[in-house]
Structure 1
Amino acid sequence: MDGTGPLTFQAEKELVRRYYAALDAGGDTSPYCDPQMVWRGFHPFGLITGAEAVRETFWTPLQTALTPLQRRLDVFMAGQNEMDGFASVWVVSMGHLMGLFDAPWLGIPPTGKIAMLRYAAFHKIEGGRIVEEAMYFDLPHLMGQAGLRPFGPQTAAELVQPGPMTHDALMFDVQDPALGEETLATINAMVADLGTWGLGLPLEDELRRTWAEDMLWWGPTGIGASYTIKRYAQQHAGPFRAAFMNRAKTGHICRMAEGHYGAFFGWPNFTATHLGGFMGMPKSDTPVEFRVIDVYRAGGGKLHENWIFIDLLHVWNQLGVDLLKRTTQIGRV
């Protein structure tokens, strides 16, 4: 292999690394992005078309607020997208964007201290350019660092979330394709079980089909992180399933894997109707959509760690509750 073929993804990885270097330095990113790049982001941004519009709307204000902006990568990988028959190549990264929070952003007051915005991003590469990007980020976690609490008490732990326990997810070099195939198969088995929301098994036994007993579920602010199948069932999976009905079939724009890691995202991933009580919110008869990125570490046919980004601000905004606006107007608590 020469390191640039479709099975190695080295050219695509290098493109995104150069894009990140230019972006983080405030430089020219036009050599790396299609001018009509489609960008998907969390509330309040949504869908933006055009690389320059993305810079003006998202990146410049963020880089003005968090200075100097530093990208701290925990996961970097590439692969072919199962959702289009493995025709397209996507590069995925995850980590934190860090800086001194010295200017307001989206109405969130600056702290003058280090702040970290946890994120995950998917980049679709065509013709040597980034033509699509999904940039999902835990905005409520940043709000919490500034003393703002958009949600009530959560069921699991709120943390600055670490990268993989095995410290092997920065896959800048060529990986064994067989490992990626195994990881993708494990993820697909979990998605198949998830789509049923009930296999006639107790929840914990259902989870044991695809999850390791000592699993780590690094959930978003508003829900939190859980450790072990038992606590995950108690602190998220059980309460979530009890609070929603009519869950639509899972749908993704991209699902891929490389090495022991895999990821997917949707726009939305699914819809469901809230019966009331989840995160302290009232019942609604209107289905809401969930925009989600999941990043996984797998091995031995089991999932061991899962970092999940859910646009919870968008979820409740669909029901007429703009928690970002309401919380920033109220101010610090």
Structure 2
Amino acid sequence: MMSFQLEKELVREFYAAMDGASDGQITRVIETYCAADYLWRGFHPFNELANAAEVARKFWIPLRSALACMQRRMDVFMAGRNEIDGFESTWVVSMGHLAGLFDQAWLGIQPTRKMTFLRYCEFHRVDEGKITETAMFFDIPHLMMQAGLQPFPPQTAAHLVQPGPMTHDGLLYGPQDPAEGERTLAAINHMIDDIKDWTGGRKEPLTEELRRSWSEDMIWWGPAGIGATYTIERYAEQHAGPFRDGFGERIFNGHKCRLAEGRFGGFFGWPNLTLTPTGGFMGMPATGKPGDMRVIDIYRREGSKLSENWIFIDLLHFWNQQGVDILARSIRTGL
């Protein structure tokens, strides 16, 4: 039985050290817990950073200066072996919010002096007692909307500060039954395999396809710009249908990591998808330009089907590839 306790303890110690560090100590903390050739992947405009000093200088110090009294509020914490490399590498996953008082500008977004949440999810690869890779995805448009900006046209679904699992059992600090993780990974893979031919060849209603993988009362916690939606019927209407209709050529690039532990699991890609907009998706025009989508999905399984799904999509990066700098436009216009 693989308990992943050493890897989990390392990441929790890393978080505690980061939370207690001053700005001047952050680089040293990262150097202590991460490998010398540490690779950090983050959403636009950060992208790939290749050492502790860069990660501290470009991301953590500015963010912590902006969100005063910042605290990490985790909703999911799990670990597992990565199916993508034949279950060779071990990764630890954390998801929740970074909360603080938005007291200084960040990325040009003006402060509100109010409590603000940054949705995040991190995948950490752990090798021989060190974190060697991190994929940290965070919903910048969600923070922008809390600051009064409207980076996108009206959403098809609901804009919310998103809660964690309905069952309140996503913090898997201790060992888990490996059979439960195997069932969760099988449910995730069934869903992935079932949608691989979503290019228009099927004649069945979308809701019939979804019911093979999802509970009837599923909740899809989507990113700002799309929103959250509840039940299979509304998910098909408010996201899955518009998403499939909004793109012509679709290329699945695969995942960097896919794992499960207990009744939770997920994956990330860099990028997961390459899509060509045909117009209409998120109220944006057609461009004819292929664009990459970097995505994290986190799932909760109930029985044999998926019941909740938290999504992180680098929409700033995707639309920037289409020639629209959402962040700069919103800051320039104040909208």
- Please tell me the TM-score bracket, short chain as reference: over 0.9
- Aligned runs of 1:156-235 on 2, under 5 Å? 156-197=157-198, 199-235=202-238
Is contact 1:35-1:52 (8 Å) kept?
no
Q: Whole-Å Cα distance in 1 between the matches of residues 269 and 84 of structure 2? A: 11
Q: Does 1:290 align with 2:293?
A: yes
Query: CA offsets per residue over residues 297-331 of structure 1, 9 Å max, x none?
Result: 00211000000000111110001110101111212
Query: CA offsets per residue over residues 223-279 of structure 1, 9 Å max, x none?
Result: 000000000000000011011122112510000000000010000001111001111
The TM-score, its normalising length taken from structure 2, stands at 0.96
- Aligned runs of 1:1-333 on 2, under 5 Å? 7-26=2-21, 27=25, 28-197=29-198, 199-331=202-334, 333=335
Q: Name the count of aligned residue pairs.
A: 327
Q: Whole-Å Cα distance in 2 between the matches of residues 231 and 108 of structure 1? A: 32
The one-letter amino acid paired with 1:23 is M
Query: CA offsets per residue over residues 86-105 of structure 1, 9 Å max, x none?
Result: 00000001000001000000
Q: Whole-Å Cα distance in 2 between the matches of residues 35 and 69 of structure 1? A: 27
The one-letter amino acid paired with 2:124 is H
Is contact 1:81-1:87 (8 Å) kept?
yes
Query: CA offsets per residue over residues 15-74 of structure 1, 9 Å max, x none?
Result: 000111111222423221112211111111111111221011100000000011100000
**Percent of paired sites with the same residue:** 62
Q: Whole-Å Cα distance in 1 between the matches of residues 196 and 270 of structure 2? A: 17
Q: Whole-Å Cα distance in 2 between the matches of residues 243 and 273 of structure 1? A: 8
The alpha-carbon deviation at position 199 of structure 1 amounts to 4.1
Q: Whole-Å Cα distance in 2 between the matches of residues 248 and 47 of structure 1? A: 22
Is contact 1:138-1:311 (8 Å) kept?
yes
Secondary structure of 1:167's match?
coil
1:4 maps to which residue?
none
Q: Whole-Å Cα distance in 1 between the matches of residues 248 and 203 of structure 2? A: 17
- Unpaired runs of 5+ residues, structure 1, are 2-6
The one-letter amino acid paired with 2:304 is G
The one-letter amino acid paired with 2:10 is L
Q: Whole-Å Cα distance in 2 between the matches of residues 306 and 292 of structure 1? A: 12
Q: Whole-Å Cα distance in 2 between the matches of residues 205 and 212 of structure 1? A: 12
The TM-score, its normalising length taken from structure 1, stands at 0.96
Pairwise CA RMSD = 1.0
The alpha-carbon deviation at position 222 of structure 1 amounts to 0.2
Query: CA offsets per residue over residues 192-230 of structure 1, 9 Å max, x none?
Result: 112111543210000000000000000000000000000
Q: Whole-Å Cα distance in 2 between the matches of residues 149 and 186 of structure 1? A: 36
The alpha-carbon deviation at position 150 of structure 1 amounts to 0.7
Range that drifts further, 295-304 or 72-81: 295-304
Q: Whole-Å Cα distance in 1 between the matches of residues 69 and 241 of structure 2? A: 41
Secondary structure of 1:179's match?
helix
Query: CA offsets per residue over residues 139-179 of structure 1, 9 Å max, x none?
Result: 00100111111101010000000000001110000000000
Q: Whole-Å Cα distance in 2 between the matches of residues 307 and 199 of structure 1? A: 26
Secondary structure of 2:250's match?
coil
Secondary structure of 1:201's match?
coil
Q: Whole-Å Cα distance in 2 between the matches of residues 237 and 251 of structure 1? A: 19
The alpha-carbon deviation at position 137 of structure 1 amounts to 0.5
Query: CA offsets per residue over residues 96-152 of structure 1, 9 Å max, x none?
Result: 000100000000000111000010000000111000000000100100111111101
The one-letter amino acid paired with 1:241 is R
